[in-house]
Structure 1
Amino acid sequence: MQRAVPTALLALLLLLLPAASALGTPAPTPTVELSASQAGKGGDLTVSGAGWRAKTLLILLICGKSSPGTGVIGGTNSCANADGRAVTTDSRGVFDKKLPVAEPPEPCPCVVHVATVTGEQQVVDAEFVVAGHPTAPLPEQTGDGRLAVLAPTRLQGASGLLVLFGAPPSRTLEFTVGNLGTTPVKDPVFQVGTAHGVFAPQWEEQQWRGTIKPGAKARIELPVRLAAGAHGDYAVSVKYGGKVVAEQPWGVGRPWGVTVFWILLALVVPTALFRIGMAVVDRVRPPGSRHARRTGRARPPASPSTTTAALPWFTPDSAPSENRTDRPTTKGHS
């Protein structure tokens, strides 16, 4: 009986050991492998990856002005977006996809940029050379200055009346940053991205004018503008140094003024055409029919005249002279 207890405890420990080791195992790091390190425009490149989240949508792009160390400088504006591809990882977090080789809008050094579209962001940049594409040195880093967001971001502003009729919604993104480095940061460049739903953000570079000394703080205000007619749930992100430092949701209402305009147009135009058509018909129809339409009854036909015009030498109320009885008598005759 005494030996049975240690045996049962040993069996229980053997059952719990795999679970404990699984809990302590860190999440795998996503990796990307390329079938070739260099290719020319028009060719194909096979991109493989492992260690990604299972059943996750990824975007594959060839980007210029980039390196694995600095990331994609300029965001997706530096990438060949029209020739990008999307792929979904399997249940093990593995994918394999062919990517056409295209020239990005920015010169090399280039990378194959792989990033998640939904959920927590995962990004891997693999070095790649686009044969025949121009090259240029990357921008120099500005010393040891490091900026960090110290306060939550806020979207300031309100939609005007024209936004209800499809005008582009706009806001001002405000946040506070502090310089945690040892050197000043002059005119820092931020990347502001707007994402709609599950789609990847569209990044745009914006430069803030000013100098932030070591240990100092600064209030940053950057304009954010959406496309005309935009509505729905958006997310505004701020990236600095290749890393997302702040995110802010933005709910944009539907432009109901456009809907009301089209409804009124659908009612007014047919009514106006009907009135114009009736006016034309009223002008071309005969006069009698026009009178009947206006009064609601037909005009009676004109009766022939029963009066006879008197002759100039005949007066009806006068008699001939020989029939008159009141002739004058001649005085002096018997």
Structure 2
Amino acid sequence: MRGELRITAAAPVLLLLLLFLVPSAAPAAAAGRPAVKLSAAQAGTGGSITVSGSGWRPRTLLMLLVCGQATPARGVIGGTNSCANADGRAVTTDADGRFSRALPVTEPPAPCPCVVHVATATGAKAQADAAFQVAGHPVEPLPAQTGGGRLSVLTDTRLDGSSGLLTWFGAPPARTLAFTVGNVGTAAVKDPVFEVGAAHGVFAPQWDERQWRGTIDPGAKARVELPVELAAGAHGDYTVSLKYGGKVLAEQPWGVGRPWGVTLFWILLCLVVPAALFRVGLAVVDRVRPRHPARRPSRGSRAPHASWPSRRGRGAAARTPRAARTPRAAPPAPSPSLPWFTQDTGPGPAARPTAPQEDRPTSAPGPTSPTTPLNPTTPLNPTTPAGRDPRE
């Protein structure tokens, strides 16, 4: 009895919980199934169609593309390489997860069958396709489906390549991700599409699709090389990841050096530009400033003669005592010699002419008359009579 009473009392509570949970689960289920509708199933190049959707996450950014070699059941086989990426459009869903956007019709790089591919650009991945026919575009059958093939990456995974001179100046670093993959499934895998992403620090990797051309039979292996490129000026520690079928197969670290050439360029620019501006400013000032003509001495002014004493010399002469400033005696003039006589062959005393009486000096010059020069022809003894040799 007690057990039956407990079940009967708990039944209303369970019914109320079901009433509240079932309506809320229905929108969640609807939101998990995004849908896409087209205003026309076929259109020619140059036209446009209206793409509308529902059941998407609210406030989510979506990408709209026209892709070839794709069906709603199998999706886009060649990845985004089969889509007209240049003519795609972006749209953001509203609060109810709905959107409507005009999309131009462009021929995709791959042949039809074609679809309008809608996928999320941010957040959790979700996608939906709607069948579409591009009028006048070639149509080819899809490749055979190989659902039994499974790929696995073996041990030797590495990044090949090196940085060049342009990378030192900020060019995008590029490497080649080389790895060996083996098919561990029961069916062959043809033209597999890998996803390669590079993560920097704590940021999530940005995935890019890379398609490898070739067929890998069951139990066989192949060497695969996929290009990896970072943004311009990237530097630091990166991690390159490889994903296939939604599963990460390998990761490889990559240390990218700093582009010191860019730093050197900015340093030289900060030094050269101010120096060039300074030189230009000096040239402008030298050209603009007025030119003064050379000054010429006037007629009344006379240039100082080189023989004039300087101020210092005149001051020293003024400070010299008057007694010390006695004039120097002039050096005696050399006696003229006749060309036909020598020192020992001159005429004797008798033949020497006598000087007139009035020309003889009456007395020897005293010490008080220093200005009287000595005549070498005058006899040294004034008392010697005329006509007599003083050496006698």
User: What TM-score comes out, normalization by structure 2 length?
Assistant: 0.59
**Cα deviation digits, residues 136-173 of structure 1 (max 9, x gap):** 41463376661334679977469748545312223443
Distance 1:217 1:105 in 2: 29
Aligned to 1:130: 134
Equivalent residues of 1:63, 1:72 under 8 A apart: yes
1:333 and 2:336 aligned: no
Distance 2:155 2:92 in 1: 33
Larger radius of gyration: 2
**Which has the bigger relative contact order, CA under 8 A and spacing at least 6?**
1
Task: Describe how 1:56-205 pairs up with structure 2 within 5 A.
Answer: 56-132=60-136, 134-138=137-141, 140-141=143-144, 146-149=149-152, 156=159, 160=163, 163-173=167-177, 177-185=181-189, 188-193=191-196, 201-205=207-211
Q: State the AA in 2 paired with 1:306.
A: A
Equivalent residues of 1:65, 1:110 under 8 A apart: yes
Change beyond 3 A, Cα 1:40–1:249 = farther
Deviation of residue 40 (structure 1)? 2.0
Equivalent residues of 1:66, 1:138 under 8 A apart: no
Distance 2:102 2:255 in 1: 37
Task: Describe how 1:140-289 pairs up with structure 2 within 5 A.
Answer: 140-141=143-144, 146-149=149-152, 156=159, 160=163, 163-173=167-177, 177-185=181-189, 188-193=191-196, 201-207=207-213, 212-216=216-220, 220-230=224-234, 243-246=245-248, 255=258, 257=260, 259-274=262-277, 276-277=279-280, 280=283
Equivalent residues of 2:240, 2:254 under 8 A apart: no
Deviation of residue 182 (structure 1)? 2.9
Deviation of residue 29 (structure 1)? 1.9
Distance 1:171 1:19 in 2: 56
Distance 1:141 1:305 in 2: 117
Q: Any stretches of 5+ residues in structure 2 without a counterpart?
A: 293-302, 309-328, 335-370
Equivalent residues of 1:148, 1:245 under 8 A apart: no
Partner of residue 373 from structure 2, selected from 321, 324, 329: 324
Equivalent residues of 2:174, 2:227 under 8 A apart: yes
**Cα deviation digits, residues 210-254 of structure 1 (max 9, x gap):** x644245556443312343356999967576xx544386989879
Partner of residue 37 from structure 1, selected from 38, 41, 54: 41
Distance 2:195 2:330 in 1: 111
Q: Secondary structure at the match of 1:207?
A: coil
Deviation of residue 63 (structure 1)? 2.0
Equivalent residues of 1:117, 1:198 under 8 A apart: no
Q: Secondary structure at the match of 2:212?
A: strand
Q: State the AA in 1 paired with 2:248.
A: A
Equivalent residues of 1:61, 1:80 under 8 A apart: yes
Deviation of residue 89 (structure 1)? 2.0
Distance 2:330 2:73 in 1: 130
Instruction: Indicate the structure with greater strand content.
Output: 1
Deviation of residue 257 (structure 1)? 2.6
Equivalent residues of 1:64, 1:110 under 8 A apart: yes
Q: Any stretches of 5+ residues in structure 1 without a counterpart?
A: 289-302, 309-315
